[in-house]
Structure 1
């Protein structure tokens, strides 16, 4: 079996170990194809490494996209109906190059405010986001619970970083997902991110919604969930994402006032 090795500085080991754990969690659902993992560690030169199954991947076709939508819904369904599950994950991990806090919460609104939006907003302030925008973000975080008065999501196992660059298909059409940032949360966050940057065939979304229809209010919650990723992009890539973050915060505050 052909193998693929990623390497990095020694401090990348924690990221690679989180990737190993995330892939194992997704594989355990027996729903969606993910790469096999052969190991991770530090080599003789002090570099971190992770060795994965090499897969020849192409862009998702409409047929493979539809199949992935069904599989993702099945993955969410099989992992989202446990009475003892909390929102979060036993260990912290990473979203891109940013640390991602996964402290457990019984409340999804509490988890998303404290472990997703607030850390990114605090980093954004340290990275030069104007104080006026930060203040608006803080008001939004204080009001997050209002988006969940009539909506009670189950803690589903999430890919966590489901953009088109982390999905593809094998030559036989089998869909594959990889590079996860797993945790237990609202299944809608995976769908929201898939829409954020595009790249998935329309059949993917249609197939998912047929398998497990989304709840009323998704279009508003989608903006809330994707704000996390836009704040993260501001923190990783700079001011090009400032205006998008501002517009999203203002739109959500208007929803709260409405």
Structure 2
């Protein structure tokens, strides 16, 4: 999008301060949106841009950031404004100068995440749907966690996989797993905790004071183990983080098998988004889970 007129006017109108950018710098690293640092002599904003029909995705992201921000636990980039015109949708966020080395206070990250997980609601899900990556994430509220996970997480991703042409073994294993999903929650009663929802190593960093910052959330209320499980995917967090988190908020002994169930959701989502070897990985995970039931 070459015409920034509407975005600049929106920033001016929302903040009540004139904004005339002198520098617009593209930022790489994302695979869904275009991202830019937009600055004048005094202020700097982080701007995400996508197709005009992406506005609901940006609205949900802003709501998710605000949901986390109002807990005063983990720092987030404050949402400024979001809108669309005939050509594009955009989300304007506070620009945070993050530590380029990605280093900071790991113990504080663990403590603040544990504090966020202690923010709880009556039901699982959320007041609105959002996205996980660019995939719709259904958050219809439910008082039964196993039912929520079976229907709105694994079941939904398996349905998408079928629509995307992934049949055969994947669907057969998936059907068996959905049927026996309750097995993994026998004797375990999670509470609806506030989750980041997409907490892998690419969605957190530290500011230049070493304080942890999270972004790109897929917020909902669910079992906190789902957040911790996600941290173990795609590189994982440090051992010090897990030790510090368990010290703050100990995990149930069944976590080591349930984390496979929770991460299966993300692997199926990657299969639906990117294809490739994720199908084999998903089938291996389902086989591992089913082996626990036999």
8 Å Cα contact 2:169/2:283 also seen in 1: no
RMSD: 1.2
Please name the residue that 2:107 is paired with.
Answer: 66
Q: CA deviation at 1:199?
A: 4.2
- Kindly report structure 1 stretches of 4+ aligned residues shifted beyond 3 Å: none
8 Å Cα contact 1:40/1:51 also seen in 2: yes
8 Å Cα contact 2:46/2:95 also seen in 1: yes
- Structure 2 counterpart SS, 1:3: strand
8 Å Cα contact 1:22/1:182 also seen in 2: yes
CA distance, structure 1, for counterparts of residue 102 and residue 243 of structure 2: 14
Please name the residue that 2:32 is paired with.
Answer: none
1:20 and 2:92 are equivalent in the alignment: no
Please name the residue that 1:35 is paired with.
Answer: 77
TM-score, scaled relative to structure 1? 0.94
Q: CA deviation at 1:66?
A: 1.9
Please name the residue that 1:209 is paired with.
Answer: 246
Please name the residue that 1:56 is paired with.
Answer: 97
Please name the residue that 1:156 is paired with.
Answer: 193
- Structure 1 counterpart SS, 2:105: helix
CA distance, structure 2, for counterparts of residue 213 and residue 22 of structure 1: 25
1:171-250 mapped onto 2 (5 Å cutoff): 171-250=208-287
- Structure 2 counterpart SS, 1:196: coil
8 Å Cα contact 1:5/1:52 also seen in 2: yes
CA distance, structure 1, for counterparts of residue 56 and residue 169 of structure 2: 35
Q: Which has the larger radius of gyration?
A: 2
Structure 1 unmatched ranges of 5 or more: none
CA distance, structure 1, for counterparts of residue 159 and residue 74 of structure 2: 35
- Structure 2 counterpart SS, 1:229: helix
